Amino acid sequence: MDLIRLLIRNWLSRVLLFVYVALFVFWINIYLSGSQEGFINNLFGALYPLISLSGGIFGLVVVSKKWGGMKSLIGRGVIFLSLGLLAEVFGQWAWSYFVVIKQVEIPYPSIADFGYFLIVPFYALAMYNFAKASGVRVGLKSMMGKLQAIAIPVLMIVIAYTLFLQHVEVDLSNPLRTFLDFGYPGFEAIAISIGILTYSLSVGVLGGVMRSRILLIVLALVAQYITDYTFLYRVGTETYYNGGPVDLMYMTSLLIMSFGIISLNRLEETKS
């Protein structure tokens, strides 16, 4: 409840929630109209990154500085999360530029995938720094901690293989595409594993208040992971379209991650 009250009091949280609701109403109109292509669908894809743009800039300019920026573990974690959100903006707006302005079908891989893929290492680095700040090293000294350190990554690899990797074909004639096909789910699984370990093994940094923040960020990672799987599945079954349910899922995962960054803003309240 403290985390919810903190988010409600933050002005950016309220703005982002308003933008989300407005875009959700816009999406409902697209969905009910049955439109699966055209300017309106593409416009939705160009607008929803405003959420991640706001969250990313706020994290870099405001939140990270309150934690000492690159001089502290939590500060570095916030910076990498923020860069991940901004990488999403770059990828989506690069895609929108080609589709809406140039009116050409964007290939895969493309310059947009440069932004999309950067999200994965940025999030992994963020969770690594949060793990160190949350005392995971101490938690790993126990037998239960060691078991979790083995079981959680293995479980995530199994999930990644079951959902994604067993269907990926190695195409040596297109090594970049093969790398991205394996890299997206593989590295995302690593980021989620580190996040779950951080939440599970943290020993109470700042009185344990950080755990709720870490949990919110892990939920954002899981939401994006599920969305990426849904996207690949719909592309494979040729049921994906711009401005459809998958884009709504992406918008939701970006909102959750933005809330995760905002939740780390009030340093004084977190210490108390």
Instruction: Compute how many other C-beta atoms are within 10 angstroms of the C-beta atom of residue 45.
Output: 20
Give the Cα separation of 227 and 230 in Å (integer).
5
> Which pLDDT tens digit goes with each residue over 169-224?
666 667 777 777 676 677 777 888 878 877 776 655 555 667 788 889 989 998 98
Which residue has better confidence, 44 or 202?
Answer: 44
Average pLDDT (229-239) is: 77
What average pLDDT does the structure give for the chain?
83
Per the listing, tokens 């190695």 go with 170
Instruction: Compute how many other C-beta atoms are within 10 angstroms of the C-beta atom of residue 252.
Output: 18
88 in Cβ contact with 116 (< 8 Å): yes
Please give the C-alpha separations between residue 171 and each of 156, 174, 175, in angstroms, as whole numbers.
Answer: 24, 6, 6
pLDDT band at 271 (very low <50, low <70, confident <90, very high): very low
Q: What is the model's pLDDT at position 55?
A: 96
Give the burial string for 122-157 (b: 16+ CB within 10 Å, else e): bbbbbbbbbbbbbbbeebeeeeebeebbeebbeebb
Per the listing, tokens 């407005």 go with 22
Lowest mean pLDDT among 136-150, 238-252, 253-267: 136-150
Q: What are phi and psi of 132, to 5 degrees?
A: -65, -40
Q: How many residues does the chain have?
A: 272
Average pLDDT (4-28) is: 93
- Domain boundaries along the sequence of the chain: 2-271
Which residue has better confidence, 221 or 163?
Answer: 221
The string of DSSP codes covering the chain is: -HHHHHHHH-HHHHHHHHHHHHHHHHHHHHHHHT--SSHHHHHHHHHTHHHHHHHHHHIIIIIHHHTTGGGSHHHHHHHHHHHHHHHHHHHHHHHHIIIIIS--PPPSS-HHHHHHHHHHHHHHHHHHHHHHHTTHHHHTTSHHHHHHHHHHHHHHHHHHHHHTGGGPPP-TTSHHHHHHHHHHHHHHHHHHHHHHHHHHH---GGGGTHHHHHHHHHHHHHHHHHHHHHHHHHHHTT---TTSHHHHHHHHHHHHHHHHHHTT--HHHHH-
Lookup: tokens for 235: 């592309």
Q: Does residue 109 have a pLDDT over 80?
A: no
Q: Does residue 66 have a pLDDT over 50?
A: yes
Give the Cα separation of 161 and 54 in Å (integer).
34
> Which pLDDT tens digit goes with each residue over 122-132?
998 998 888 88
Instruction: Compute how many other C-beta atoms are within 10 angstroms of the C-beta atom of residue 53.
Output: 19
